[in-house]
Amino acid sequence: MLFWLIHTGKLIYFYYHARRMILSFVLFRLLKVNQGLALKNSINTEDLMHYNTQMEAARQGIITEQLKSAAKNEGRDFHDLLSLVAQGKIAIPANKNHTNLKPAGIGQGLMTKINVNLGISKDCKCFETEMNKAKKAIELGADAIMDLSSYGKTRDFRQELIRISPVMIGTVPIYDAVGFYDKDLATISAEEFLEVVLSHAEDGVDFMTIHAGINRATAERFKKSGRLTNIVSRGGSLLFAWMELTGNENPFYEHFDKVLAICNKYDVTISLGDACRPGSIHDSTDPSQIEELIVLGELTQEAWKKNVQVMIEGPGHMAINEIEANMIIQKRLCHGAPFYVLGPIVTDIAPGYDHITSAIGGAIAAASGADFLCYVTPAEHLRLPDYEDMKDGIIAAKIAAHAGDIAKGINGARDWDYAMSEARRNLDWNTMFQLAVDQEKPKKYRESSKPEIEDSCTMCGKMCAVRNMNSILSGKPVNIL
């Protein structure tokens, strides 16, 4: 009996201390794991973990300087953006070789960004003119510039643009290929197209439009579609023609893995081009457009497997009542990737005023989920835009983007409008000018027509509703005569 008690006591003693040791070990491991996670979420360098792209970093829990910058621009905690970048719902275009870039995010829950197109061409090849436009676009608040150069010293222009630009730079390599090789389209090889992609990546381009969705199957669908305005995408039409002339598959589709390898190495965001975007409201939401969008959704997943960031490009010309549905379809088919739209232009009858037709469509698109608007100028369809065209296009696009942000409930979007309304109530003209999306034009308007009474304008004078309401509510008399 005594032996049994002693033996049992030893077992109990052993069990008690073994249990304590096991619990201590488990707690120790949990503590180390939590410490590791905390460290992982605060890593800002490549010393401990390696990554090539912003998406790869986010998937490892690394907070990059580019992510911090994007979050700061939005007034957001960078931890909020981390999972969205990892999922591909936010892109931070930031080529490793664009050293003076101030990175910005594009995508879910962020302010709608705007892009400005410019570049040298055979008819307008003045390097200095286009570079001055680029500098002014940055000054006016463009979030991105796309260099669409297609002739002349395109690489010199691109490298100088990247050198001076703190905003992200995009390009369309197929435009450059034709001018760079200076030979017939049909004689350019698939390898040569890819060499141009590599050249742009090496130079520091942050995002590239790659028209990989128009493959031979998509092209066959287009040929049966009976479209009114055919293919209006310049890159799309060049690739369609190349496939028809050579009988080969679209090189960007056939060798998409090689494109991804380049983009992964330099952290170039792929902007999957919409070769089959509608060029008229008659052609919108047709089988060609939707079939290509399905292909773009498949390519998006392939890119994400390689940790390459993606944006999807969209229409184009489109009636107002179709815009919201198109935004929903894109987000669904392309798995929530950021959506980059040209316009949409909501009617075809306004050449010379397409900055207005596109701003109408852009506001609706942004309100319905579009993340990035490509500006359209009054010169659209007519000529290369000059400085005034560019300014009108930028202002119109910024108005559309901000209107969309208000509707989407973007954090802080309404604060700007509140401040402007407060300045109007107070008849504080200088503050109104400072807050205006275009600070020059309203000041010129007021100076061109001076009122008799300083705290009114020449439209209402002493009958100014704001002036009279301020007086009567503060107990002062209202003198109209």
Q: What is the pLDDT of residue 130?
A: 94
pLDDT for position 75: 93
Which pLDDT belongs to residue 29?
46
CA distance 274 to 318: 14
**Burial readout 279-308 (b: 16 or more C-beta within 10 A, e: otherwise):** bbbebbbbebbebbbebbbebbeebbebbb
Digit-coded pLDDT (tens) for 84-114: 999 999 999 999 999 999 999 999 999 999 9
Q: What pLDDT was estimated at residue 189?
A: 97
pLDDT of residue 22: 44
pLDDT value at residue 182: 86
Regions of the chain short of the pLDDT cut 70: 1-49
* 90-408, CATH topology level: TIM Barrel (3.20.20)
Whole-angstrom Cα Rg for the chain: 28
pLDDT computed for residue 456 by the predictor: 87
Residues 6+ apart with CB under 8 A from 275: 211, 213, 214, 218, 231, 233, 235, 236, 237, 239, 240, 292
Encoding tokens for residue 437?
């999306």
| pLDDT at residue 31 in the model | 36
Q: What is the pLDDT of residues 203-212, one digit of tens each?
A: 999 999 999 9
Q: Is the pTM of this model over 0.85?
A: yes
